[in-house]
Amino acid sequence: MQNAVTKVAVVGSGISGAVCAAILARNGVSVTLFDSARGPGGRMSQRRELSEDGKELLFDHGAPYFTVTNPDVLSVVGEWESRGLVAEWKLNFGSFDCSSNKFVNIEQQERQSKKYVGVPGMNSICKALCHEPGVESKFNVGIGKFEWIEKENLWSLMGVDGQNLGHFMGVVASDKNIVSPRFTQITGQSPPLDLSLSPEFVKLHNIPVYPCFALMLAFSDPLSSIPVKGFSVINSKVLSWAYCDSSKPGRSSESERWVLHSTMEYAKDIVAQTGLQKPSKETLSKVGDEMLQEFLSTGFGIPQPFFKKAHRWGSAFPAASIAKEEKCLWDKNKRLAICGDFCISPNVEGAILSGLAAASKLKGMLCSL
Ligand SMILES: Cc1cc2nc3c(=O)[nH]c(=O)nc-3n(C[C@H](O)[C@H](O)[C@H](O)COP(=O)(O)OP(=O)(O)OC[C@H]3O[C@@H](n4cnc5c(N)ncnc54)[C@H](O)[C@@H]3O)c2cc1C
């Protein structure tokens, strides 16, 4: 890191924000990163749970893995691999058809595109990036307002409880909800960024999203009757994917842990019935029962798990990409960049590319000041 002189706030410690923050810091920009969550990762988080007898159970309950084709992203991922933050998940995957109760396709690992996972959890990459020299990370701090101070040519950030979080020369925001009516539906407050400040950001208004439920399961013994460690589910109204989380590199093998993903349609239906607010315990328990039932009915003689918990991702996947060419939104006059998977493609690779683009906009500008 060069001498850090210029202050930028990055909002969001998901992969797009974390990549952007680390690159800026490596280029001598001093960065403060804020996230409303308890820890880093966003939709690449890892969930820590305890079983009834106090055993620690870790689950990648968001993105289970990612693939990469873009050469810029491959080069970044290669560096993470050499630091031991990422490894390849080399196992056979398949597709299971619920109407015939059979695997219709089992792909040998060598014939699939490389599947990368964070080690020892999907959040390991963001965790490392958020703690690079020059990045000061603050968790449990939700941004409630981005205020542009014209006279001083600076940004002022306020927390959701109105606390003053400081002044910044530049800002990167990595969540589309900062300008969305969804923010108001969920929190009852106005969205943090006033769209009239940067009218070109109107594309951000109300990007459609797909929800998804993840069900975390732990079993005492391996589910050895299932011939693969990850499979897509065809012809099911409830399940779309199932992964054996404990088969990833660097995970504890003390118990066998699986994560199931619901179909988008199933999740949309539940959200339509229960609303956008945090789901109740009863809703999560009903969803957990229904998803487990579908898994058990695959006919592999799967025993009851000793641990079961459902999680709702209200905005799991953006349903539109708003900046495929530019890769991020950028207001040069106010030094404001917006990045995230919703700019390019609804996956980790798209989010990384967008974070790289936002860093390069700010880097170019701040380094010349
Ligand atoms: C169930 C599921 C399965 C998936 N499967 C795959 C897969 O197989 N392969 C793949 O490549 N991708 C997959 N994805 C998608 C992938 O996880 C995302 O594309 C990627 O992680 C998005 O990163 P991001 O940085 O754009 O956003 P996020 O990870 O959502 O980060 C945004 C961050 O901003 C924070 N934030 C938001 N508002 C505020 C505020 N006001 N103040 C402070 N902080 C704030 C949030 O807490 C969050 O940490 C999956 C996602 C889910 C949920």
Type of residue found at 115: K
Nearest to 15 by CA among 344, 271, 361, 365: 344
pLDDT in tens, the chain (369 residues): 445 557 999 999 999 999 999 999 999 999 999 999 999 999 999 999 999 999 999 999 999 999 999 999 999 999 999 999 999 999 989 999 999 999 988 876 666 789 999 999 999 999 999 999 999 999 999 999 999 999 999 999 999 999 999 999 999 999 998 888 888 888 888 999 998 888 778 888 889 999 999 999 999 999 999 999 999 999 999 999 999 999 999 999 999 999 999 999 999 999 999 998 899 999 999 999 999 999 999 999 999 999 999 999 999 999 999 999 999 999 999 999 999 999 999 999 999 999 999 999 999 777 665
HEC readout, the chain? CCCCCEEEEEECCCHHHHHHHHHHHHCCEEEEEECCCCCCCHHHCCEEEECCCCCEEEECCCCCCECCCCHHHHHHHHHHHHCCCEEECCCCEEEEECCCCEEEEEECHHHCCCCEEECCCCCHHHHHHHCCCCEEEECCCCEEEEEEECCCCEEEEEECCCCEEEEECEEEECCHHHHCHHHHHHHCCCCCCCHHHCHHHHHHCCCCEEEEEEEEEEECCCCCCCCCCEEEEECCCCEEEEEEHHHCCCCCCCCEEEEEEECHHHHHHHHHHHCCCCCCHHHHHHHHHHHHHHHHCCCCCCCCCCEEEEEEEEEEEECCCCCCCCCCEEECCCCEEECCHHHHCCCHHHHHHHHHHHHHHHHHHHHCC
Which residue has its alpha carbon closest to ligand 1 atom 19? 347
Residue-wise pLDDT for 269-284, tens only, equals 999 999 988 999 999 9
For a mutational test of ligand 1's pocket, the pick from 43, 161, 210, 342, i.e. the residue with the most ligand atoms closer than 8 A to its C-beta, is 43
Torsion sign (Cα): 87, 91, 95, 96: negative
152 CA distance to ligand 1 middle (Å) = 33
pLDDT of residue 1: 47
Which residue has its alpha carbon closest to ligand 1 atom 10? 347
> Rounded to 5 degrees, what are φ and ψ at 26?
-65, -20
Which residue has its alpha carbon closest to ligand 1 atom 27? 14
pLDDT of residue 2: 46
317 CA distance to ligand 1 middle (Å) = 8
Q: What is the pTM of this model?
A: 0.96
For a mutational test of ligand 1's pocket, the pick from 89, 113, 175, 315, i.e. the residue with the most ligand atoms closer than 8 A to its C-beta, is 175
Which residue has its alpha carbon closest to ligand 1 atom 3? 63
Provide residues with CB under 6 Å of ligand 1: 11-17, 34-37, 42-44, 62-66, 142-143, 174-175, 177-178, 192, 212, 214, 261, 313, 316, 340-341, 346-349, 351
pLDDT of residue 340: 98
Query: What domains sit in the chain, N to C, each tagged with a CATH number?
Result: 1-40+123-205+321-369 (3.50.50.60), 48-121+208-319 (3.90.660.10)
Which residue has its alpha carbon closest to ligand 1 atom 38? 175
> Rounded to 5 degrees, what are φ and ψ at 155?
-100, 145
